[in-house]
Amino acid sequence: MTERAHTALPLKRVLGVPTALFVGMGVAIGSGIFRAPGEVADSLQAPWLILLAWIVGGVFVLMAGMVTAELSTRFPRAGGEYVYLREAYGEFVAFFFGWSYTVFIIGGGAAIIARAFGDFGCELLGVPATWAGPIAAAAIVAVTGVNAVGLRTGAGFQNVLTGAKVLALLAIVVVGFTCGTEPIDFFASPPRTSTSSLLVLLSTGVIPVLWAYDGTTDSVKMAEEVRDVRRAMPRALIGSALAITLLYVLVNVAFLRIMPAAEMAGLSSVPGEAMRRVFGPAGRTLMLAVAMLVFLGTLSSTLLATIRVTFALARDGLAFRFMARMSKDQAPVPAFVVVAGFAMVLVLTRTFTEVLRVYFFAGVILFGLSYASLVVFRLREAFFPPEVYRCPAGIFQAFTLITIQLALAIGLVLSNPWDAVYTTILLTVFGLLYFVWKRASPVRSAG
């Protein structure tokens, strides 16, 4: 295996398995577990189908974790999927992924998480909704400031918040299993019971589930800073997938112990309603505080891990050089400032939701390309590198993940064809920008 040379000094490997595992769990445990249960129950209604959807989502992220574990040990550099796309397909795809990821996923994703924090904060504090933007902006500033202090400080902060989030969800499990009195008819038939419709129902229900699992592989973006990558990354990626799957299944069983699936259907926050039924209004207030903790932790984990894509893009000469600067405590402060500033503009103007949907379609395609890169690398080599983790049935798993990604893309096109049009325009714009950038910046570091 050969990897392109880089002129920049490598980053210090200061992170262990716990942090890599907690980053994946920290990014994933966010608004999804609050909103997805109601959407899944609305689509599926039968308890066994609801739990099956969460298990199917877990299998998907487990497969993604194993495939990504091989890729991360092949190229243990900052940037994760950006690096795999660059090595497999070249600068053009890497440029598009890196810039679109920076703008839409890091900046926009941080804005949406922070906005949820602000909305819940307004309800908890009893202040007008107009305060949601400033509260969200304050959260971005606070989390960015902590992460800008240094890698160890940022990692420690997100580890504490992730641990608190896991404990909060486990508390919900305990409450549901001990205080819930609702009998669960696991094998009840859904209202629409034809055999052919079950697969359609399940595929519909899995989409919000995958959103709740999204981010479990984000620790690969920090692979260059992880000690003993060959052992640490597979353990972290597979461990986070298994842990979060078990946690989500138990949480949903707890919900079903408190209220029937039919009453969960369509709720914007099943945890809030569940705690209200057990503890009254105080229970809902408590869940608002827990939700804010969850969103703050997700914001911290997201910024900590995903900013490495922007850093890698700049280090390779495909973004402004100043964004590749690292502090002595290994924090890409300029990149943090730029992305945080963009996110703050979004939370204060509230103009981003449609653009994020456009990127989601592009993201499905790009992450499908990332999984396909495993096939590309295997076909290129005469023998399997001994220092790389070998994903079991790697080509089969990669093709399975690609098939699922394509199905999601087709579903998005059918449900909202204008998104496909906007995405095509976006691809064209970023494609043109690449050639403009290449002409304007003829001297770039190798890679």
Q: What are the residue boundaries of the structural domains of the chain, listed by start?
A: 17-440
In order along its 447 residues, the chain shows pLDDT tens digits of 444 444 456 788 888 888 899 888 988 888 788 878 888 888 888 888 889 889 989 999 999 999 999 999 999 999 999 999 999 999 998 998 888 888 877 887 788 788 888 888 888 888 888 888 889 889 999 999 998 888 888 888 888 888 888 998 999 999 999 988 888 777 766 655 544 455 555 566 677 788 789 889 999 999 999 999 989 999 999 999 999 999 999 999 999 999 998 888 888 788 888 999 999 988 888 888 888 888 888 888 888 888 999 999 999 999 888 998 988 888 899 999 988 888 888 777 654 445 445 556 667 777 888 999 999 999 998 889 988 999 999 999 999 999 888 877 776 677 667 767 777 777 788 778 888 888 877 544 443
Structural tokens at position 371: 């999984």
With a CB cutoff of 8 Å and minimum separation 6, the contacts of 318 are 91, 94, 95, 98, 99, 437, 444
pTM: 0.86
Is there a contact between 335 and 321 (Cβ–Cβ < 8 Å)?
Answer: no
Cα angle value 349/147/126 (rounded, 5°):
45
What is the CATH number assigned to the segment(s) 17-440?
1.20.1740.10
Distance CA 92, CA 430 (A): 9
Cα–Cα distances (Å) from 24 to 75, 118, 165, 224, in that order, read 18, 23, 13, 16
Distance CA 306, CA 107 (A): 10
Distance CA 205, CA 41 (A): 8
